[in-house]
Every structure is written in C-alpha cells, then in structure tokens.
Amino acid sequence: MKSLEELKAIKAKMQDKVALRTSSGETRIVVGMATCGIAAGARPVLNAFVEGVAEAGLGENVMVTQTGCIGICQYEPVVEVYTKDAEKVTYVKMTPERAKEVLEKHIKGGKVITEYTIGALKK
C-alpha cells in the first residue's frame, strides 16, 4: 500500500532538490484546460507533458502549467510553449503522441515543430 510513511521517504529525498528549484521555469508549457480543451482531449495531453518532463529529468528548467480558454476553441487541445529568448509558440490540435514529439524536438532539441503550430493550420 502506498502509505504516508512512503510519502515521508519521498519528501526526505526531495527537499534539497525543491529548495534549489526557485529559479525554475525557464521554459513554460501551458495547456488549455477549459471546457473546450477538456472536451477535445487536453487531459491526456497534459499528462503526457507532465510524465515526459519527469521521465526526461527536465523538471528543473521546464514547468508544465494549466490555463483556461484562450479563445481558439476550434483548435483545442492548445499548448503554448514559452522559452526564455524566443517568441511564444502555439501548438494546436495536440495529442499525447505529439506532446512527446514536442518534448523531444522542441524542448530538448530547441527546434519548433512548425507543422503542429497554429501558423501552419491557417495557411
């Protein structure tokens, strides 16, 4: 059973790490989680980002957060990526598979996947 004792052990392991992380959030991945996002499948997309960031050990520099409706409901699930020096990138019609790809190519590799962005859709 996942007991509170086990939770204490996790806490002990993490405390130092968390204290160091005040400067985190150089990169922000923001997932739209309003009715429009949820209905279009945002929950598994968010989950893919959260799990992917943890698995890749990117937690110190990458923050995954949620937001409400940003007004382009027809393109949900929408994911915005903010990096330190570049312009915001808006990915549309996301899936968990695309999320993994964005983590690999964009977040880790620094290369925007243009074909998933809103700009590509409108052309």
Partner 1 sequence: MDELSLYVLDITMNSVRAGATEISIELTEEGEWLYFTVRDNGCGMTEEQLKKLENPFFTTRKTRKVGLGIPFLKMLAEMTGGNVKINSVHESVSADHGTVTMAKFGKNHIDFIPLGDMVETVKTLIQGSPEIDFTYRHKTEQGEVMLSCAEIREVLGEVPLNEPEILTWIGENLREQYEEL
**According to the binding rule CB under 8 A, does residue 121 interact with partner 1?**
no
Query: Footprint of partner 1 on residues 14-33 (CB under 8 A)?
Result: 14-15, 18, 33
CB of 22 to partner 1, least distance (A): 11
Kindly indicate which of the ranges 45-53, 88-96, 99-107, 114-122 contains the residues binding partner 1, using the contact rule CB under 8 A.
45-53
Check if the beta carbon of residue 27 is closer than 8 Å to that of residue 107: yes
Q: Residue 55: name the closest of 113, 123, 103, 16 by CA.
A: 103
Name the 3-class secondary structure at 31: strand
The size of the interface with partner 1 (CB under 8 A), counted in residues, is 35
Residue 43 host element (H or E): helix 42-55
**According to the binding rule CB under 8 A, does residue 69 interact with partner 1?**
yes
